[in-house]
Amino acid sequence: MITAIIQARMSSSRLPGKVLLPLLGQPMLARQVERTRRARELDAIVVATSTDPSDDPIAACCSSSGIAYERGSLDDVLDRYYQTALKGRPDRIVRLTADCPLIDPRVIDAVVAFAVTGRYDYASNTIESTFPDGLDVEVFTFSALETAWQEALLPSEREHVTPYLKNAPGIRRGNFRGDKDLSLRRWTVDEP
Express each pLDDT in 62-87 by its tens digit: 999 999 999 999 999 999 999 999 99
Q: At what angle do helices 105-118 and 28-36 cross, to 10 degrees?
A: 50
**pLDDT confidence of residue 28:** 94
**Angle made by CA atoms 19, 78, 107, in degrees to the nearest 5:** 55
Q: Kindly tell me if the per-residue pLDDT of 13 is higher than 80.
A: no
pLDDT digits (tens, 9 = 90+) for 85-138: 999 999 999 999 999 999 999 999 999 999 999 999 999 999 999 999 999 999
Contacts of 184 (CB under 8 A, 6+ apart): none
Residue 83 backbone dihedrals phi, psi, to 5 degrees: -65, -35
Task: Tell me the pTM.
Answer: 0.95
User: CB burial class (10 A; 0-12, 13-18, 19+) of residue 56?
Assistant: middle
Q: Which of 1, 15, 3 is nearest to 101 (CA)?
A: 15
Give the pLDDT mean for 149-172: 93
